[in-house]
Structure 1
Amino acid sequence: MLHTIRKRYDSALALLPSFPLRSKNALRGALRDGYSRGDLRADVLAGLVVGVVALPLSMALAVASGVAPQHGLYTAIVAGAVIALLGGSRTQVSGPTAAFVVVLVPIAERFGVGGLLLATFMAGMILVGLGVARLGRLIEFIPHPVTTGFTAGIAVVIATLQLRDFLGLHVEHFPEHYPARVAALARAMPTARPAEIGIGALTLALLIFWPRINKRMPAPLVALAAAGVAAALLGRLGPDFEVATIGTRFSYLVDGIARPGIPQLPPMPGLPWRFPGPDGQQLTLSLDLIRQLLPSAFAIALLGAIESLLSAVVADGMAGTKHDPDTELVAQGVGNMMSPIFGGIAATGAIARTATNIRAGARTPIAAIVHALFVLASVLALAPLLAHLPMAALAAQLLVVAWNMSEAKHFVHTLRVAPKSDVFVQLACFSLTIVFDMVIAVTAGVLLAALLFMRRMAEISGGRLLEGHHEDLREPLPPGVALYRIAGPLFFGATQKAMSSLDAISAKTRAILLDVTDVPVMDATGLVSLESALERLMKARVVIFLAGLQDQPRRLLEKAEIAPIDGQLLFFDSVEEAAARARAQFPPAPPASTRPPASTRPPASTRPPE
């Protein structure tokens, strides 16, 4: 049976575009390595555990993102299965995540569900392009203070957003920007409802303390079930006890009739822009709409790429596997293109669910597929019961997610021990995420980190002008021959410092030995500076011995058609070879004779003749 499954999967995968990435598919590799019944049993059990965790969390994240809870469930079902089938990580679980909340809420408020799904579809196309272009490794160049800063900022925003449901506050209009939201919540504090606070506190306590009592039973299952039962019992015992639930907050239409809760139906296909816009009417697809959604699509794609690859790295560390970042990006892209077609929102690799998956014994992507099937089965079988989940309980769960996401201890540790420049970048990203949004925060953070990196590289780059004897040379250089050593990358941030000392060569210099052995890379600015220096030296009739070119600078000089010129510009593989040629071409003058000139010599003999 397993052999048949493996053959059918390979046949289906062969229908995909023949990217070189296809051979690095994690599921295909797992089946090729041998998949036993024991592996299947472990994957099924792990998938069920993750499914229990993902079921309420997917609904809570959808609500936090400004859409109905079923959209989160459809994301876990469709994107969770598609990404597992095509991805490059063996144990990663994908679905809606808390990091997307701050990006998706403004889109949903401005463009409605249809605009949010269309932006997600566009983000999927961008992710596929990144993966096909093999840009997965570039995500590794985003500095740690940037990711730490905006992640902690997102956690603060998510936690703030949950206070409305956790406390049962009545807020007429929730503003778009964070300071205004805090002010609106503060004004609404007198409307807090004890019933909502009690259910939220019960859920929060169980989520925190249950793992210390029993680690086998997932805390979200126990906490949310207890909250639902408690709300139902207290509602019957006391008529005045009433809490908001999924059923009282959300509804769906069937044959024109509104019904409470979520539909007891599987995700059905449809074009993303066919879903309602901000006014409840169907969106009209246009170039202007795409143009307006493009920045949001880039933000979703960037965040999805960062989080999915970070999650894959965490999975590798826990499971001892190795993911392929480009294959994973393609899978994330296809998943985010398929998800909105079935009503799902943005998806990416979920670190917490991935860790749960590995701890539960997952071995291959089949565990993530089982998790998606479990969520689907729950929607079909338990939709009426899910409608009774209190909103305060879902808010409590997201408060725990926000706390875990913030990594407060690590954030504070970085502030305490990191260099001041990194601390500045982290605090800038944190503040910009809260006050503005993640797009501005990441853009500014990466820009600041890049500027600081250039400054640091410029500090370690430079040039030294040496004359006469040098410890790296076996013999001293002849008079009039100088050694100029450039160390570090010759790029636009460091070129001026590296080449500046060349201006200090004396007028008596006949030749210069230009040592570039320690220049690993050179960019266009470095090339222009080098060309200018060579031209200036040759005009001064200084012979140049260029020594120690590495591969990248050598290729760049070849493209620029900078070649040896007999008697003026000579290339050597090593400094010692160049020094030997300089000694041969410019030998030191012979030492002056101690014998006086003939005109001053005394007579051959002063003895008188005999």
Structure 2
Amino acid sequence: MKWMGRYKGYHLPDFRKDLISGLIVGIIAIPLGMAFAIASGTKPEYGIYTTIFAGILIALFGGSKYQIGGPTGAFIPVLFTIVLQYGYENLLIAGFLAGIILVCMGLFRLGALIKFIPRPVTIGFTAGIAVIIFSGQIGNLLGLTGLEKHENFLPNMKEIAVHLTTINLYSVTTAAICLMAILLSTKFLPKIPGSLVGLVLSSVVASLFFKGHLATIGSSFGAIPSTLPHFHFPHITWDRINTMIYPALTIAMLGGIESLLSAVVADGMTGTRHNSNRELIGQGIANMVTPLFGGIPATGAIARTAANIKNGAVSPFSGIIHGIVVFLILILFAPYASNIPLASMAPILMLVAWNMSERKEFASVLKTKTSDSFVLLITFLLTVFTNLTTAVEAGLIISVILFVKRMSGLLKVTKVLPDSSVRNNKVKAYMVSEAHDCPQINIYTLDGPLFFGTANILEKIIINSTHLKPKILLLRMSKVPYVDTTGEFRLARLVKDFKKSGGTVLISGIQPQSMEVFEKTGLYMLVGENCFFNHTGEAIDYALIHLDHNKCIGCKHFAFHECKKLSDTSPCSETPFPATSKVF
């Protein structure tokens, strides 16, 4: 049987591959879903609900064939802060609003814009999140008691230091067993999810030998129900929307970045191409529906998506099957999950943090010792010591400032004159000197973008070098790929000032984008239709005809071929001049 659309050419052997992949990824997702929910300050079952609903919906409506959605480590600091500040009910509202924002982003085709976030910013906040996740599990690993949770990194570290005397050796031993089991099974049993092996083995050991001596999911959060929650629409008011819209924007931004990064990774592994706008819509739908069943915000999970592909996934069916598998495990084995020690969760999350830290890329960018290194460090430190929103905003602002600073050096404005010794009389900067420079015609070559970061350079150079008030100003713009409204405004002001003094501005070789801007703003009409030329030679011909010939008499600069003749011509002469249209 063949399926149309995304499932065109889909056959039974493909379904078998999706079934195996979905089964494996579903098993992997169980401990991670619970661990991410606990670390986010919510109950473990909320992570399972998220895995089920978001996993299925993202697979159904997303723009990547292989995307596995669910709760992720990247959300932990953000969700934990929201829960502490506003509570779980408001977290659901923030997730719902984030879903609406993501759908709107997809509908307005903003998916491509997220890809333009600088790499140092993403590496910086990802590494910062990894530090927060890792440090946040130290208490569970050591079995510390009496810890008070705080929003910021330093107060949490202070809590750990103050309560170090409450260390629980049973917890440490359980965590060590889990960690060793994960590492050994990953090496010797790569086909079996290491996190599951570590979780089961350490839980069994703790139940047999350490029962009652360490905190478990059941003792900390109560028993995990073996049924799905009832549909519940959060009580949304305008006051709550005003309060939660900013956290929702943070969730939407992070969810969009994370999901599209995951989709890009999937593209690289499979040679396919995802639809970024559809992916945002799929993520939005999932985040609108999941909170209605108690789930926390979700996004594309890079590690689980990679595992999905490595285990032979063919279509979105693997993501749907992964959600169904998690649902079946919830129904059948939920009571047993209550016996899982929190110390068993700690190594799993710490390894997630280690794997997501992008330590190699972090070190590589730092070694460059460039402005990117500075952006990376600022984003990383602000993520750890303040919050993700502040870090990303600061990283983006600094990146833009540094980008504009770099770009400001790209526009080169050079005064030129034709060189008769080279082919086609090409204009060259070295031809301009104090003894060889036409007093009436100034020619400038503009090379680079003319935008808000470079517009002042154009104005400054030309005003400084046209103090003798030439009759004609010729701007060669064939090497200007882009003009924004600021660049146009500065250029228009230059044209107006030049015209006030009785001069004429000519423009040659203008690019289509620049011409479009000039036409929309009125600069085209200000300069004059007859003052635009395709080639520099044509513009020079025009300029020579419209000179003040009286001023040419006796001039010894001889900047052009025609100058000798003009210098000797009487004031009344109207002698035509030879064409120089081959000047470039």
* TM norm. shorter chain > 0.5: yes
Contact 1:463 1:499 in 2 (8 A): no
**Correspondent of 1:536 among 491, 494, 497:** 497
C-alpha distance after superposition, 1:522-575 (max 9, x if no partner): 222111101001111112222221112222221111111223569896012333
Q: Distance in 1 between matches of 2:496 and 2:420?
A: 26
2:402 is the counterpart of 1:452: yes
The one-letter code sitting in structure 2 at the alignment partner of 1:263 is P
Contact 1:54 1:353 in 2 (8 A): yes
Q: How does 1:466-505 map to 2 (within 5 A)?
A: 466-469=416-419, 474-475=424-425, 479=438, 480-503=440-463, 504-505=465-466
2:238 is the counterpart of 1:263: no
**Correspondent of 1:421 among 353, 368, 371:** 371
SS at match of 2:255: helix
Pairwise CA distance, 1:448: 0.4
- Return closer, same or farther for 1:364/1:472 CA change in 2, 3 Å cut-off: farther
- Return closer, same or farther for 1:111/1:564 CA change in 2, 3 Å cut-off: closer
> 1:294 matched to which residue of 2?
245
SS at match of 1:512: strand
The one-letter code sitting in structure 2 at the alignment partner of 1:306 is I
2:122 is the counterpart of 1:147: yes
Q: Distance in 2 between matches of 1:340 and 1:514?
A: 60
SS at match of 1:173: coil
The one-letter code sitting in structure 1 at the alignment partner of 2:153 is Y
2:392 is the counterpart of 1:442: yes
Pairwise CA distance, 1:469: 3.4
SS at match of 1:482: strand
Contact 1:514 1:544 in 2 (8 A): yes
2:183 is the counterpart of 1:208: yes
RMSD over aligned CA atoms reads 2.1
**Correspondent of 1:562 among 512, 520, 523:** 523
> 2:6 matched to which residue of 1?
30
C-alpha distance after superposition, 1:301-329 (max 9, x if no partner): 00000000001000000111100111100
2:83 is the counterpart of 1:108: yes
SS at match of 1:491: coil
Contact 2:170 2:210 in 1 (8 A): no
> 1:607 matched to which residue of 2?
none
Contact 1:117 1:345 in 2 (8 A): yes
Q: Distance in 2 between matches of 1:486 and 1:511?
A: 16
Pairwise CA distance, 1:584: 5.1
The one-letter code sitting in structure 2 at the alignment partner of 1:264 is S
Q: How does 1:89-128 map to 2 (within 5 A)?
A: 89-128=64-103
**Correspondent of 1:339 among 290, 293, 296:** 290
Q: Distance in 1 between matches of 2:71 and 2:146?
A: 26
Pairwise CA distance, 1:500: 1.6
The one-letter code sitting in structure 2 at the alignment partner of 1:396 is P
SS at match of 1:182: helix
Tell me whether 345-354 or 162-171 shows the greater mean CA deviation.
162-171
Mark the runs of 5 or more structure 2 residues left unpaired by the alignment: 428-436, 548-561, 570-584
SS at match of 2:473: strand
TM-score, normalised to structure 2, is: 0.89
C-alpha distance after superposition, 1:380-439 (max 9, x if no partner): 11101111111111111000000001021221121112x421111000000000111000
- Return closer, same or farther for 1:41/1:471 CA change in 2, 3 Å cut-off: farther
2:483 is the counterpart of 1:522: yes
Q: How does 1:572-587 map to 2 (within 5 A)?
A: 572-583=533-544, 585-586=546-547, 587=562
- Return closer, same or farther for 1:429/1:589 CA change in 2, 3 Å cut-off: same
Q: Distance in 2 between matches of 1:130 and 1:67?
A: 28
The one-letter code sitting in structure 2 at the alignment partner of 1:315 is A
Pairwise CA distance, 1:131: 0.6
SS at match of 1:520: coil
Q: Distance in 2 between matches of 1:70 and 1:271?
A: 18
Contact 2:519 2:525 in 1 (8 A): no
Pairwise CA distance, 1:506: 4.7
Contact 2:98 2:248 in 1 (8 A): yes
Q: Distance in 2 between matches of 1:491 and 1:573?
A: 22
Q: Percent identity?
A: 38
> 1:608 matched to which residue of 2?
none
The one-letter code sitting in structure 2 at the alignment partner of 1:219 is G
> 1:550 matched to which residue of 2?
511
Contact 1:543 1:569 in 2 (8 A): no
Pairwise CA distance, 1:577: 3.4
> 1:247 matched to which residue of 2?
218
Pairwise CA distance, 1:465: 2.0
SS at match of 1:363: coil
SS at match of 2:445: strand
SS at match of 1:474: helix
TM-score, normalised to structure 1, is: 0.86
Contact 2:445 2:476 in 1 (8 A): yes
> 2:350 matched to which residue of 1?
399
> 2:205 matched to which residue of 1?
230
Contact 1:164 1:171 in 2 (8 A): no
Q: Distance in 1 between matches of 2:426 and 2:202?
A: 84
The one-letter code sitting in structure 1 at the alignment partner of 2:282 is A
Tell me whether 218-227 or 567-576 shows the greater mean CA deviation.
567-576
SS at match of 1:590: helix
**Correspondent of 1:385 among 324, 336, 340:** 336
> 1:25 matched to which residue of 2?
none
Mark the runs of 5 or more structure 1 residues left unpaired by the alignment: 7-27, 252-260, 274-284, 595-610
Pairwise CA distance, 1:209: 2.8
Q: Distance in 2 between matches of 1:41 and 1:488?
A: 56
Q: How many residues align?
A: 544
The one-letter code sitting in structure 1 at the alignment partner of 2:522 is E
Pairwise CA distance, 1:171: 2.8
**Correspondent of 1:326 among 274, 277, 281:** 277
> 1:195 matched to which residue of 2?
170
